[in-house]
A and B are shown apart, each in its own frame.
Chain A
Amino acid sequence: MKRAYGFWAALAMLAGIHVVTLAAGFFAPYDFATQDREAPFVPPVHIHFLDAARGFHSRPFVCRWVPVLGVADRFSYTEDCTQTFPIKLLVEGAPDSASGARKGNLRLLGVDAPGRLWLLGTDEFGRDVFSRLIYGGRISLFAGLLATLVSLALGWGLGSLAGSGELFLALPWLYLLFAVRAFLPLHVGAGQAFLLLTGVIGLVGWARPARLVRGIVLSAKERTYVLAARGFGASDAYILRRHIWRETRVVMPTQAALLIPAYIQAEVVMSFLGLGVGEPVPSWGNMLVSLQNLTTLAYAWWTAAPALVLAGVCLLYHQVGAHLQGQGKA
């Protein structure tokens, strides 16, 4: 029973993460593309409850980060608490450029200007890493999800009917993705790039579930109850629908739980290599590009946030997958 708690907790957390990214315009304090050129690589904001003068505040507040003068080569900041900015709920925030809106947008958290609620600091262009993380999750998480759907649908259909995907299993998928990308026009919009990513990853990946389904089909065909049904004169279509697909239904969720994190990683790899969505639209992969630089890695650790979240999401999916597999065996 203990395991089921883990399963439900993991599922709930995954659902939560997906909801947050879907409603990025509400949960992210800022737009993903807004640059603040005076504030590159600002560290994560400190949330305070205490101040020197008046003591405890029930409403948390933040201070501003001001550049340290004289440190020219590295962006260095220090906290200036002469003016404090209480964190407010449900504020009229920046317009959401993903939806093309030009007017303000209701956002969960915010502070009054000139204060900034950079929960995970900023990147090299002074863009809010936390907001980009949420918006980027839209691309990365849903690319994984959709690609899995494509892959399973194809694998299920082809696996139960014809079944051989050896050629596709043998393809080095990363190079195939490079090749596919090279044939496409120079610029593809963010929406197109997203569909392309999911399409390519899903199409390349169908062979694995297909082989699994094929195995189940072949073994199920020899089961006594199938033979019995056939003896009673059941048609192929009936047997497939009534008996064989039932068998495969059990393995599909497990497959999904294993494929989704793999495909999320595939998206991250492709975007990391510049084959996914282009700037300024974030995805976890293209956010990680700046970490290739030694200095960023050493001094702006917060830009590694997408990697940590990615690891967490993959672990959650594996937790779900492990439970489903156990259940399948039982």
Chain B
Amino acid sequence: MPALQAATVAPPSRRQGLAPVPIERGEEFLTIAGEPGRYGGRLTASLHSEPKTFNPVTAVDAPSLAIIRQTIGDLIHINRFTQKAEPALAESWKISPDGKHFSLALRHGIRFSDGQPFDADDVLFSFEVFLDENLHSPQRDLLAINGKPIQVLKSGQYSVEVYLPEPDAAAERLFDSVAILPKHLLGKAYEEKRLNQAWGLDTPPDQMAGLGPFRLKQFVPGQFVKLERNPYYWKADRARRRLPYLDELAYLIVPSTDAEVLRFRAGEVDVLSPLSAENFGALSDGSHAEYQLQDLGPGLEYDFLFFNLNDLPEGGSEEMQAISKKQAWFRDTRFRKAVSLSLDREGVIRLIFRGRAAPLWAQESPGNKNWVDANLPHPARSIPEARRILKEGGFTWNDAGDLVDPAGNRVEFSIITSSSNALRTKIATLLQDDLKQLVMDVHVVPLEFRSLMDRVFQTYDYEACVLGLVTGDADPNPEMNVWLLDGGTHLWRLRHLRPPEPWEAELDRLMRQQLVTRRVPERKKLYDRVQELVAENLPLICIASPDVLVAAKSTLANLQPGVIPDYALWNADSIYFRSDAGKQP
């Protein structure tokens, strides 16, 4: 009697997944704007590799962070779409006039995803953990201002006071992505000094909890990570219905972008973000009512070429001495200027990014609308001008036509790139051809990523390198460790034996100053100067900033992709399926 059976079975949305817990009295939930959505369905996204951990304190790799971001809550959150700081677990906050003291009021009556209540003790515990030097949390650097850590004190069950050693221009942004951890689950592990081993891939999901919209349901190595609704999540829609709308959020592990596109086309993956320009092109072919493509414009990534300006020790191996000799060219600003002038940035964008990128002359992309220096000069590509500058630097072209330095050495060097990043290898191949116009003999050497990192960060055994950096926030502060003299990502010169160049010292000073300058226009002026110095001295010869491209099923509603990670899924708590389309088992 199949007909009868069909009639008695409830619709899949009712049967499947865990229902949200009704809102309690006194619970200070956050109400989101917009039309209420409908419950149900599973949203499937993809990851390029497996997560390494579910531990928010120690995670550094992108797949782990992508999952952790969906399972944790922070005090103050940056809206990825508006790029503004918004209340999250802290319902409101006050800043003292000197900018060094924050009072945060926490939400009352909300619960972790295991049903246990949340209060100031959890906040205190979390900051203690993140600031603990023994745990080496990557967040620790961000919670320190000019090297001095912030202080967090409890002033009531639902209020905390935060003291900054110095005023911080963007202090409320510090709290973004600092996970508030459940003391009841992790307190013991922390006391026993084994917190870095806690919440590994083999930890049963019921021993983990967070304040994010989802919680871990199942992890199958090599295949997928499945998250389910946090039934106690602290956000609701206008109709007082608890979020998230989705029953489940799944991440398939798909090692290549090409496979990802195939699975998206087959309907197995609902969202691709970010997407490469080539694949965006492939997907935009023909009519496609079932999915939508969005080009959000240039993101916060910048791709650049840089030369090895590290102070190498005397008397190293023969190879290191050869690099040392070539550094006489690399250190000459005129040499770097000539290289920059000969680069065909438009060509890179047209051929490699299919027009979906912005050319760069300094680190800030037009995607960072509030902070990019709009008055920065954009010198056009000019081979004659590049040749003139080289001549000024004492370089000449000998009878055979080769470019030689004042000592008569042929200008020849190699650019290393990551072999796993096809786009950057292609950029290097184009640069190679551009520099041929100046008769520089350039070789492109793709290396395995880890060996590339090793050369750049440890052994300094390279001449030039094409790399990209992604800024974590649309604010100058995450850039600190690139431009400070002792910054961990001061890529071109991680090792100083000799005093810094005047402009390097100036960059350091400006970055420190902007950090403690609270008035936005003044801060902007300082950061504009940083960009000018970068464009003039070219420690990084910036090339392009790729657009953030997103593909998503048309049935998904409330998508508000932003240029900051997690591009399309940052607001997964309010995304919903318009119809039953997402409900396949």
Q: Could you list which residues of chain A lie within 8 angstroms of chain B, going by C-beta atoms?
A: 33, 35, 37, 40, 72-74, 102, 124-126, 185-187, 274, 278-280, 292-296, 298-299
Contacts and interface: CB of A to CB of B under 8 A. Distances in A.
Interface in B274-310: 277-282, 284-285
The 3 closest A-B pairs by CB, nearest first: A73-B281, A294-B258, A187-B414
B261 interface: yes
B444 interface: yes
Give the bracket for the number of chain B residues in contact with chain A: 35 or more
A186 B317 CA distance: 14
A156 to B, nearest CB: 37
B443 interface: yes
Contacts of B429: 125, 279-280
Nearest to A298: B282
B344 A37 contact: yes
A125 B444 CA distance: 15
Contact of A280 (B319, B419, B432): B432
B268 interface: no
A293 B278 contact: yes
A39 B344 CA distance: 15
11 contacts: A37-B430, A72-B354, A73-B277, A73-B285, A73-B354, A125-B429, A186-B319, A186-B462, A187-B414, A292-B258, A299-B282
A302 B445 CA distance: 26
A72 B262 CA distance: 21
B223 to A, nearest CB: 21
Contacts of A126: 351
B426 interface: yes
Given A35-B433, A37-B350, A125-B429, A278 B444 contact: yes
Contacts of A74: 281-282, 284-285, 354
Interface centre among B262, B351, B426, B432 (most CB of A within 10 A): B351
A73 B279 CA distance: 9
B412 to A, nearest CB: 9
Contacts, number: 77
Given A187-B414, A295-B281, A279 B444 contact: yes
Given A74-B285, A124-B426, A293-B422, 17 more contacts: A35-B433, A37-B347, A73-B277, A73-B281, A73-B282, A73-B355, A74-B282, A125-B430, A186-B416, A186-B445, A274-B419, A274-B446, A279-B444, A294-B282, A295-B258, A295-B279, A295-B282
Given A125-B430, A187-B445, A72 B355 contact: yes
Contacts of B352: 124
Contacts of B319: 185-186
Given A186-B462, A293-B422, A125 B282 contact: no
A102 B401 contact: yes
B461 interface: yes
A191 to B, nearest CB: 13
A206 B261 CA distance: 44
A97 B444 CA distance: 17
Contacts of A293: 258, 278, 422
Contacts of B462: 186
Nearest to A294: B258
Contacts of A35: 430, 433
A72 B350 CA distance: 10
